[in-house]
A and B are shown apart, each in its own frame.
Chain A
Amino acid sequence: MTLAILVAPRFDDASSYSYDWSREIKKVLEDKGFQVIDIGGRPLSRAEVEKALTENPNALFIFYNHGNEDCLWASQTEKAVDEDNVKLLASRECFTMACLSAKQLGVEAYKVGCLAYWGYTEVFAFTTEDADVFKEFANCGLKFKLEGKTWEEALQQAKNLAKELCQKLIEAGKYFSSILLQQDADALRCYTPNNPPTETKCIFRKIALKIFGPKLGWRISRSQALGWLFFLVGYGVTLHAVADELYWKGGYAEIFKPQGEWVGLALVMLGFILLVSDVVKWLRK
């Protein structure tokens, strides 16, 4: 039987709504034959969420509650998942209904090998007036997935559904709800190996994503990037200094003579290429 871990803490008004919405998801999962490990309805601790994730590697992880850019909240004070234990999301699919977490935590999850991270890059907002409409939107992605769609198709269908619901809200004269629903839909992301994250505030990451594309761009660590940068700039400076010295010694003729300096620099470059070739292969995987 396929396993799913459903984490839905409840400790304030907003999380009472998200807990209520998660009940529908639990039923849908059970109807589809999933065994659901249901943890929620109260403030939770980080330890019990970690225990469920550790004991059930690869199980589908579903989270309904507050979130932040770098975490999912277990209670008002304790984080269930953050960048310190994000590795627990590796090799599993994650469906979150929480504010902001796709902005940073979802990207980290993608980087450690999370198979799919469904979440929002902005605050998830809803109105009491149309809580059922927001629930329909919030829950639809996992339902589409369980119907046999890919995550990418589910994301597109969820955005299409949001458009339809938004139009209905406009027709009904519910402008607050329509704007907020549109805002939630705009913030919805699903990161998969086929649909990697593309947004970042870091200028170096932006450059890496532009040059190498998202698949490779996210795998280059800061120390790797700095290492490459220092090596290439240092190599260029050395090359220029040696050429300059040779030029003053005997002009261009001296530069183009076979010199020991050139042999040394060529060997350094060859050594560097051999050293990094494995890293490049790993990055391309």
Chain B
Amino acid sequence: MKELDIIIKALKLEAQQKPNERIYVGFKSYTYAEFAEMLNNHKKLAKVEKEFVENFLKTSLKLFKENKAYREKILTLAGEK
């Protein structure tokens, strides 16, 4: 499994655990589940949303590579460890 796929899988699981929590992104807001869904389909999004999601994925990948605790926890949550 690719690193990004593992991260998205873990985030989807976190979203399932927290159905009432929301993310505010400028004027818009999403449930965790809606946002996690956007991570898979970001190429079809509008320009601003696409940029934001791509930046989100970039940051999450950077954390995955550079932060040991984050990496370990994400791998555990995604069932890859």
Contacts and interface: CB of A to CB of B under 8 A. Distances in A.
Interface of A: 12-14, 17, 66, 99-100, 122-129, 166-167, 170-171, 173-176, 178-180, 182-183, 186
Contacts of A123: 25-26, 48, 52
A182 B65 CA distance: 14
Contact of B56 (A100, A126, A179): A179
21 contacts: A13-B29, A66-B27, A100-B26, A123-B26, A123-B48, A125-B23, A125-B24, A125-B26, A127-B32, A128-B24, A129-B18, A166-B63, A167-B67, A170-B63, A170-B73, A175-B73, A175-B74, A176-B14, A176-B15, A176-B32, A179-B60
Nearest to A18: B24
Contacts of A125: 23-26, 52
Contacts of B43: none
A14 B59 contact: no
Contact of A182 (B35, B63, B73, B77): B63
A179 B48 CA distance: 18
A183 B62 CA distance: 11
A175 to B, nearest CB: 5
A183 B59 contact: yes
B55 interface: yes
Interface of B: 10-11, 14-15, 18, 21-27, 29, 32, 35, 48, 52, 55-56, 59-60, 62-63, 67, 69-70, 73-74, 77
B14 A175 contact: yes
A126 B69 CA distance: 22
Contacts of B59: 179, 182-183, 186
A17 B24 contact: yes
Given A167-B69, A175-B10, A176-B35, A126 B24 contact: yes
